[in-house]
Amino acid sequence: MTSREDSCNRGIAFHFHHDTLAESCSDYNGRVEDIKQFKPKAEQSLRLRVFRLIPDDRLPSKLKTAYEIYDQAEKAYIRTWEIYDKAWEVYNKTEETYIRAREAYNKTEKAYNRAEKAYNKAREACDKAREARDKAEKTHDQAEKVHLRVLEAYMPQLEHLHKELCPDCPWNGQTIFTRQNNAGQWY
Ligand SMILES: [Zn+2]
């Protein structure tokens, strides 16, 4: 529906252009200003005299309805342009921020990749060292058991050897602290 204010300035006009009988006009006053400002002086009075909006109530009703539908669609279309322009502005701003963030991200990604490589290398080295340690531990434990068994087996021989190599020894089979002089010294 066209409002009263609109109907004075938009509608279907005769001779919007000099070579057209009738066409839609969305800004009658604006077109009048254009004619006064830009058209040759010799054309102006004729153009202004014949350029006129057709009164609503004189339009054939089918044409009037078709024009009103078109007019509403055009207004809706203009509103979508306005929304698009605003959205584009926001998009443009976020694009700058996005590009800066991506640069920062790429830098940190490189640092991250370097750190990841170093971490993986160190972990491999640590795993190898742990394997070697565990292997050495088994070897050690086995050798220790064998050593203790052999030591135990040779104890009688060692006792004989002790009598020979450790003269005047206070060892009683349990401890070396078995003799004490008057001064309290163990000997
Ligand atoms: Zn001894």
Give yes or no for residue 138 having a pLDDT over 70.
Answer: yes
Tell me how crowded residue 14 is: count the other CB atoms within 10 A of its CB: 14
110 Cα–ligand 1 center, Å: 70
Residues with CB under 5 A from ligand 1 (ion): 166, 169, 171
pLDDT in tens, 150-165: 999 999 999 999 999 9
Residue-wise burial string across 90-118, b where 16 or more C-beta atoms lie within 10 A, e elsewhere:
eeeeeeeeeeeeeeeeeeeeeeeeeeeee
For residue 50, the number of C-alpha atoms closer than 13 Å in the C-beta half-sphere is: 13
Query: In which domain, by residue range, is 86 found?
Result: 4-94
Q: How remote is the CA of residue 166 from the centroid of ligand 1, in Å? A: 4
| 120 found inside a domain | no
Residue 61 within any structural domain of the chain: yes
- 27 within some domain: yes
Number of domains observed in the structure of the chain: 1
Q: Report CA(157)–ligand 1 centroid distance (Å).
A: 14
140 within domain boundaries: no
pLDDT digit string, tens, across residues 65-98: 999 999 999 999 999 999 999 999 999 999 999 9
Asked whether residue 166 is assigned to any structural domain, the reply reads no
pLDDT of 2 strictly over 50: no
Question: Is the pTM higher than 0.95?
Answer: no
